[in-house]
């Protein structure tokens, strides 16, 4: 039996657990702070501790692939284990690997991260549209066919993102607005939310307005990193997303992970972050 769409599953998860994604980012400095070794065994302990604390309690978790890949095949094996264990908890797993390539090799990435039975396939994948939005077609097709989702980089949280994302295409439309329009076209008619989301940093201030990016028309989830360690909080979430805020999945990694390794303290930090995100994004 086919699973419901990612958009529907995420909407339900955000309604029941709050609009928070906890990033699983095993930075060397955090491993040291948790008294863990900077190797595959340390990664494994770190990531499984985070899942123990927040699995089944938050809408989503987001393992950061780079920090597993830096340990080579042993690190990737841990990422595979974390993806499977995360899905077992019922919390949605967004693999943050920011993949993007020409169409023919994008098929390979889609197969790795979005195919049923692939060990790296979570519930959604972050992808980069900067080889052209159409180059993502293999990922879009496979995600929609398997009930998975994508988060397409649109207005990223880093200070350099504007160099590319605010630039104007030959039609005079900003790159960010063009990406948002392509996602909106794929999501048209989906209820309650489409499965092709965007990444829009909680740190981007009024960039959506300045680039003419209409987030309310995307009809898909908006993954908002930048909460916590990058300086954004409830005020920024409300200001950046305005009328699109009910679509937002706020994401915090170091802001929650700094509370570890104690499981109860991690859980409490995640609950606090989820309450803050709920107050900012879903005011009653
Ligand atoms: O625009 C983006 C896209 C992705 N990220 C990722 O989110 C986390 C942020 O970690 P914090 O510790 O909460 O700063 C990290 O994995 C980034 O690669 C982003 O920050 N901005």
Each residue of 79-114: pLDDT tens digit?
999 999 999 999 999 999 999 999 899 999 999 999
- Here the tokens at position 133 are 């939005």
**What's the pLDDT band for 1 if we cut at 50, 70, 90?**
low
The C-alpha atoms of residue 89 and residue 238 are separated, in whole angstroms, by: 29
Domain presence at residue 1:
no
Distance set, CA 237 to CA 189, 212, 234, 277 (Å)? 26, 18, 5, 8
Give distance in angstroms: CA of 73 to centre of ligand 1.
23
- Report the residue among 198, 226, 240, 273 best suited for mutation to probe ligand 1: largest number of ligand atoms under 8 A from its CB: 226
Domain presence at residue 183:
yes
Determine whether 98 is an active site residue: yes
Q: Is 230 touching ligand 1 by the criterion CB < 6 Å?
A: yes
- Here the tokens at position 176 are 């960010």
Give distance in angstroms: CA of 226 to centre of ligand 1.
6
Q: For residues 215 and 207, is the Cβ–Cβ distance under 8 A?
A: no
Q: Is 233 touching ligand 1 by the criterion CB < 6 Å?
A: no
Residue 67 Cα: closest atom of ligand 1: 16
Domain presence at residue 3:
no
Distance set, CA 146 to CA 121, 124, 134, 152, 279 (Å)? 10, 10, 19, 18, 33
Could you give the residue ranges of the DSSP H alpha helices within 147-226?
A: 162-165, 175-187, 207-210
pLDDT tens by residue, 18-37: 999 999 999 999 999 999 99
CA 73 to centroid of chain Cα atoms: 23
Instruction: Give ipTM to 2 decimals.
Output: 0.99
Domain presence at residue 123:
yes
Ligand 1, atom 18: closest residue by C-alpha? 64
Instruction: Supply the mean pLDDT for the chain.
Output: 97
87, 98, 166, 282: which one is catalytic? 98
Domain presence at residue 95:
yes
The residues with which 197 forms a beta bridge, in sequence order, are 151
- Here the tokens at position 78 are 């841990």
Q: Is 203 touching ligand 1 by the criterion CB < 6 Å?
A: no
Domain presence at residue 148:
yes
The C-alpha atoms of residue 176 and residue 179 are separated, in whole angstroms, by: 5
User: What was the pLDDT predicted at 2?
Assistant: 81
What range defines the domain where residue 123 resides? Answer: 8-281
**What's the pLDDT band for 284 if we cut at 50, 70, 90?**
confident
Residue 229 Cα: closest atom of ligand 1: 14
- The answer on pLDDT for 153 being more than 70 is yes
Q: pTM here?
A: 0.98
Domain presence at residue 151:
yes
Q: For residues 270 and 58, is the Cβ–Cβ distance under 8 A?
A: yes
Number of domains in the chain: 1
Domain presence at residue 2:
no
Q: Is 63 touching ligand 1 by the criterion CB < 6 Å?
A: no
Stretch 57-63: mean pLDDT: 98
Percent of the chain with pLDDT over 70: 100
Q: For residues 61 and 21, is the Cβ–Cβ distance under 8 A?
A: yes
Q: Is 64 touching ligand 1 by the criterion CB < 6 Å?
A: yes
3-class secondary structure, 276? helix
The C-alpha atoms of residue 139 and residue 145 are separated, in whole angstroms, by: 10
Residue 253 Cα: closest atom of ligand 1: 13
Residue 227 Cα: closest atom of ligand 1: 13
CA 214 to centroid of chain Cα atoms: 20
pLDDT tens by residue, 187-242: 999 999 999 999 999 999 999 999 999 999 999 999 999 999 999 999 999 999 99
In CATH, what number is assigned to the domain containing residue 248?
3.20.20.70
Q: Is 157 touching ligand 1 by the criterion CB < 6 Å?
A: yes
């Amino acid at each position: 039996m086919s699973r419901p769409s990612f958009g529907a599953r995420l909407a339900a998860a955000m309604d029941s657990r709050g609009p928070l994604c906890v990033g699983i980012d095993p930075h060397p400095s955090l491993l040291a702070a948790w008294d863990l070794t900077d190797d595959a065994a340390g990664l494994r302990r770190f990531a499984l501790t985070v899942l123990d604390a927040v699995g089944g309690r938050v809408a989503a978790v987001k393992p950061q692939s780079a920090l597993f890949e830096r340990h080579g095949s042993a690190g990737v094996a841990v990422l595979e284990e974390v993806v499977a264990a995360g899905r077992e908890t019922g919390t949605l797993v967004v693999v943050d690997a920011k993949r993007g390539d020409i169409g023919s090799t994008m098929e390979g990435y889609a197969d790795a991260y979005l195919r049923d039975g692939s060990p790296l396939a979570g519930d959604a994948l972050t992808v980069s549209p900067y080889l052209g939005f159409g180059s993502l077609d293999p990922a879009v097709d496979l995600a929609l066919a398997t009930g998975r989702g994508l988060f397409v980089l649109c207005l990223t949280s880093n200070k350099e993102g504007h160099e590319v994302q605010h630039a104007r295409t030959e039609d005079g439309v900003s790159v960010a607005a063009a990406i948002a329009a392509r996602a909106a076209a794929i999501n048209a008619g989906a209820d309650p939310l489409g499965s092709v989301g965007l990444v829009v940093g909680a740190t981007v201030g009024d960039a959506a307005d300045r680039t003419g990016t209409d987030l309310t028309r995307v009809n898909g989830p908006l993954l908002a990193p930048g909460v916590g360690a990058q300086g954004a909080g409830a005020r920024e979430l409300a200001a950046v997303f305005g009328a699109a805020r009910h679509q937002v999945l706020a994401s915090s990694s170091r802001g929650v992970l700094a509370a570890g390794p104690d499981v109860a303290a991690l859980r409490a930090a995640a609950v606090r972050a989820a309450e803050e995100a709920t107050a900012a994004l879903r005011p009653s």
